[in-house]
Amino acid sequence: MKVLGIETSCDETAAAVVSADAGILSNLVFSQLEEHRPYGGVVPEIAARSHLDHLEGLIRGALDQAKVGFAELDAIAATAGPGLIGGVFVGVMTAKAMAAARHLPFIAVNHLEGHALTVRLSGEAAFPYLLLLVSGGHCQLAAVEGVGVYRHLGGTIDDAAGECFDKTAKLLNLGYPGGPAVEAAARGGNDRRFALPRPMIGRESLDFSFSGLKTAVRHRVVALAQPPAAQDVCDMAASFQGAVADVLADRCARGLARFRGDYGQAGPLVVAGGVAANTYLRTRLDKVARAAGTEMIAPPPKLCTDNAAMIAWAGLERLRLGLTDSLDFAPRPRWPLQEVRGPVGAATRRQNIEA
Pair 13, 30: CB distance under 8 Å: yes
- By CB atoms closer than 10 A (0-12, 13-18, 19+), residue 224 is middle
In 3D space, the residue among 40, 7, 49, 3 whose CA is nearest the CA of residue 23 turns out to be 3
Domain that holds residue 238: 127-301
Q: What percent of the chain is modeled with pLDDT above 90? A: 86
Same domain, 141 and 80: no
pLDDT at 35: 85
* Helix ranges restricted to H, 176-298: 178-186, 211-223, 230-263, 279-291
One-letter amino acid for residue 336 of the chain = P
Same domain, 200 and 295: yes
d(CA 82, CA 154): 18
pLDDT at 346: 64
Whether 353 is in a domain gets the answer no
- Range with the poorest average pLDDT among 75-79, 118-122, 164-168, 197-201: 118-122
Same domain, 144 and 159: yes
Pair 104, 117: CB distance under 8 Å: no
d(CA 9, CA 85): 7
* Helix ranges restricted to H, the chain: 33-36, 44-66, 85-102, 111-117, 161-171, 178-186, 211-223, 230-263, 279-291, 301-304, 309-320, 346-354
Whether 351 is in a domain gets the answer no
Total tally of structural domains belonging to the chain: 2
Give the CATH number of the domain where residue 99 resides.
Answer: 3.30.420.40
3-class secondary-structure state, position 56: helix
Mean pLDDT over residues 129-136, rounded?
Answer: 95
pLDDT at 295: 96
Same domain, 132 and 186: yes
Whether 350 is in a domain gets the answer no
Last residue of a domain, one of 284, 301, 318: 301
Whether 215 is in a domain gets the answer yes
Same domain, 141 and 81: no
Last residue of a domain, one of 278, 301, 324: 301
pTM: 0.93
3-class secondary-structure state, position 176: coil
Same domain, 210 and 232: yes
d(CA 23, CA 2): 9
Whether 158 is in a domain gets the answer yes
Between the ranges 65-69, 119-123, 124-128, where is the mean pLDDT highest? Answer: 65-69
d(CA 105, CA 103): 7
Mean pLDDT over residues 281-301, rounded?
Answer: 96
pLDDT, tens only, 133-171: 999 889 999 999 999 999 999 999 999 999 999 999 999
Whether 88 is in a domain gets the answer yes
Q: What residues contact residue 199 under an 8 Å CB cut-off, 6+ apart?
A: 208, 209, 210, 211, 212, 213, 247
The number of angstroms, rounded, from the C-alpha of 9 to the middle of its chain's C-alpha atoms is 11
Pair 17, 5: CB distance under 8 Å: yes
pLDDT at 207: 98
Pair 132, 272: CB distance under 8 Å: yes
Whether 60 is in a domain gets the answer yes
pLDDT band at 176 (very low <50, low <70, confident <90, very high): confident
Q: Is the pLDDT of residue 89 over 80?
A: yes
d(CA 341, CA 338): 8
Q: Is the pLDDT of residue 185 over 70?
A: yes
pLDDT, tens only, 200-249: 999 999 999 999 999 999 999 999 998 999 999 999 999 999 999 999 99
Same domain, 286 and 312: no
Q: Is the pLDDT of residue 124 over 90?
A: no
Helix, strand and coil in the chain, % to nearest 5: 50, 20, 30
Same domain, 159 and 181: yes
pLDDT at 279: 96
Instruction: Identify the DSSP state of 193.
Output: S
Same domain, 269 and 329: no
Same domain, 71 and 216: no
In 3D space, the residue among 216, 301, 207, 222 whose CA is nearest the CA of residue 255 turns out to be 207
Pair 6, 28: CB distance under 8 Å: no
Same domain, 266 and 142: yes
pLDDT, tens only, 250-276: 999 999 999 999 999 888 999 999 999
Q: Is the pLDDT of residue 352 over 70?
A: no
Whether 179 is in a domain gets the answer yes
One-letter amino acid for residue 331 of the chain = P
Same domain, 10 and 25: yes
Q: What residues contact residue 21 under an 8 Å CB cut-off, 6+ apart?
A: none
3-class secondary-structure state, position 249: helix
pLDDT, tens only, 7-25: 999 889 999 999 999 899 9
